Structure 1
Amino acid sequence: MPRRRRPPRPGALADLSPTRILSQIVLLQLAYYACAAVLIVFTALVAGKEVSIDLLFSWHSLRGDTTVGWTLGLVWVLNSLTCAIFILLLIARSKLVLDFALTVHFIHLIVTSLYTHAIPANLFWWALQMCSATIMTSLGVWACQWRELRPINFGSKTPARPPPATADEGGESRGRGRGRGKDGAGEYEMVGMNEGNSNV
């Protein structure tokens, strides 16, 4: 008899679907460049510099011996911080953050090399990419884990708290209604008693 295959885990095909992974990579890459473009244009306008597409795709502008290079480096670091939010919204799984962060920077390397017709030879550019990937990965993992560890709410209302206990003359607490014993073993119910009447 032919062996029967084990049914796939629920959600496994959807999680590992190549179409879904490809769409997440495209959306994350577009968000990466869109956010960087906004930050670069804003910084260039404030600094009074000419806005050029070279600031986004060329590695020649990222130099450690010029003010423009350090400013662009700071912009790319801020961009990696912002992209952690997109990782949380698009990926939302801490185990996949490293793969997507490295993929984003690898695609950026390809795009930069094709745009400048040369592989980046500036050590400042490579150091910045490693710093950006580290920040994006660490912050993205932290954000996704924070979201994964949040308690799940099924729509039930929070149970009402029991009425507070009151202290009598002997210093012992006396509750009203139902409550739990000091050992937490079970519930008890306080029954009203008339003072002065005792049963022997």
Structure 2
Amino acid sequence: MFYGVAAWDPWLIIAQIVCLQCLYYITLGLFLAILVGTRVSWLSLVYFFDYATITTSTVSGWCVIASLLLSSVAGAAYMLFFIERAKKCLDFSATLYIIHIFIYIVYGGWPSSITRWIVNGTGIAMTALLGEYLCIRRELQDIPITRYHSSV
């Protein structure tokens, strides 16, 4: 979709980052509403950005972890449509998670929980590897040439 002819287009890169980040948070909000919203009385930004909500000792903590990992899978699918190049998937995955980590450091402080770092590491790996896999599959598809078929 956004893949252009020019090799270096900073506005294109910024637009791709913004689209990917927005879609990631929309998907995360959807998964949090489905998985966590049914278990808590009030769903707030705490579940998005506070590291204390990611815990393996409660069911709602496991639901937050599942929401983050499912959003990582969706982020890989978004890369298929917005990034379209396998060699750029790691860069955009790292950018997505660096921005996410920066936001939740500003919001909730430095995460002292090892669970948060494991979930983020798993999420970035899932997004990058699955995004590269999907983009490579698309890049290796045959180009259909239907105009030159002879009708016999």
CA distance in 1, matches of 2:150, 2:28: 47
Question: Partner residue of 1:138?
Answer: 129
Distance 2:7 2:59 in 1: 44
The match for 1:128 is: 119
Shift of 1:158: 4.4
Aligned residues: 149
- Within the candidate set 60, 65, 72, 1:68 is matched to 60
After TM superposition, the score normalised by the length of structure 1 is: 0.69
Question: 2: distance between equivalents of 1:20 and 1:120?
Answer: 32
Q: Deviations over 1:133-177 (max 9, x none)?
A: 11111110011001101111244264568xxxxxxxxxxxxxxxx
- Which moves more between the two structures, 121-130 or 44-53? 44-53
Specify the structure having the higher radius of gyration (Cα). Answer: 1
CA RMSD across the alignment: 1.8
- Deviation of 1:59 after TM superposition, in Å, equals 1.2
Where does structure 2 lack aligned partners over 5 or more consecutive residues? Answer: none
User: Do the aligned partners of residues 16 and 151 (structure 1) sit closer, same or farther apart at CA in structure 2, a change above 3 Å counting?
Assistant: same
Inter-partner Cα distance in structure 2 for 1:137 and 1:126: 16
Q: Please state if 1:27 is matched with 2:24.
A: no
Match runs of 1:30-179 below 5 Å: 30-116=22-108, 118-156=109-147, 158-159=149-150
Distance 1:46 1:68 in 2: 9
Aligned partner of 1:190 in structure 2 is: none
Aligned identity (percent) is: 26
Distance 1:81 1:135 in 2: 7
Q: Which stretches in structure 1 are left out of the alignment for 5+ residues?
A: 1-9, 162-200
List 4+ stretches of structure 1 deviating above 4 A. Answer: 157-161
